[in-house]
Amino acid sequence: MPSFLISRLSALGDVVCSLPAAGALKAGHPGCRVVWVCDPRFAALPRLCRHVDEVVEAKPQLNPKSWPVFGEEFEAALDLQGLAKSAIVVARARARRKLGYHWQREGSWLASQAVLPDPSSTHIVDQYVDVARAAGGSAHQADFGLRPAEKDLDSVRSKLAVGDPFVVLNPGAAWATKRWPSERCGRLIDLLALQGLRTVLIGGRAESDHASARAALEATRSGAANLCGQTSLGELVALLSLAKAHVGGDTGSTHLAAALGVPAIGLYSITRPQRSCPYGQIHRCLYEPEGLDRIAPEAVADKVLEALA
């Protein structure tokens, strides 16, 4: 059976959105082997994907000692990132075909042939799947193949300070312009509490994420469980799988919730939700081009309740 290589090293949301490419390869080549090269920070994601057979951790830099070595030949090597670091991986691989996501930067076009997306592929997930289709993959709908590990479910349950049902809220984001104002987060927590829904706050280990979580807690009368910076990536997958819904901006956890089939309410302003909304859930997104502060907590609460109904 043929083997395929996928090079998608980072970041959280982008790795999540790339997972259906592995599913498409499996569907088009039953019994094939899929190897995924990923940054160690995000390697837990392809490891939790049932379509991926092996994960190689790598952070390719200028030093050749940081480049991965492969002992097998691949039917095709796919660069789903289009950067120099992902191109190094593909260049190192022995493969009959080398294909890449169409937005190629930093000289990545030297290592792979760009695959232009189908005109109907508006969402980035579908554009990644188009690269897999060019390698003989098949997909009628995106299959993320993501599942939490039992050990992570047990760990998260021990950390939770709230019972069911609960909603996960991510008040942070890498860019300040993608963060919903803290007072609005606090108001949403209170509105959900009136409906019998507790809130769990999440975020990364960056100080900006911790600050966003603290500010949201200060703005609520109802209180919330704060797990910001306290979950591994595997535990985050487990936590979201247990949630009734997720609320967040254009950030990785929103894509992760959608990949798990959890209702994901996305809040957007500077990015177009048509391309980067939680996959298959654009009807749950709220978009205000003039700023996230124009999105009312009441409108978000309504979206959550609609999803649960």
Q: Which CATH number covers residue 253?
A: 3.40.50.2000
Whole-prediction pTM? 0.96
| pLDDT at site 79 | 98
Q: Are residues 181 and 248 in the same domain?
A: yes
Q: Which DSSP state fits 205?
A: S
The CA-based angle 211-16-188, given to 5 degrees, is: 40
**Run of H or E residues at 94:** strand 94-101
| pLDDT at site 178 | 85
**pLDDT mean for each 10 residues of the chain (309 residues):** 97 97 98 98 98 98 95 98 98 98 98 97 97 97 97 96 90 85 97 97 94 96 96 98 96 97 96 93 96 96 97
Domain that holds residue 205: 150-308
**Run of H or E residues at 217:** helix 207-218
| pLDDT at site 176 | 77
Flag whether 145 is in a domain.
no
- Retrieve residue 29's tokens: 């080549």
| pLDDT at site 270 | 86
Q: Are residues 51 and 171 in the same domain?
A: no
Sheet with 286-287, side-by-side order of all strands: 225-226, 198-201, 166-170, 245-248, 264-268, 286-287
Q: Are residues 110 and 164 in the same domain?
A: no
Q: Are residues 179 and 129 in the same domain?
A: no
Number of structural domains found in the chain: 2
Q: Are residues 154 and 124 in the same domain?
A: no
| CA nearest to 136, candidates 30, 36, 35, 28 | 28
| CA nearest to 68, candidates 42, 98, 30, 35 | 35
Q: Are residues 128 and 208 in the same domain?
A: no
Flag whether 143 is in a domain.
no
Last residue of a domain, one of 134, 168, 193: 134
Q: Are residues 242 and 301 in the same domain?
A: yes
| pLDDT at site 42 | 98
Q: Are residues 230 and 124 in the same domain?
A: no
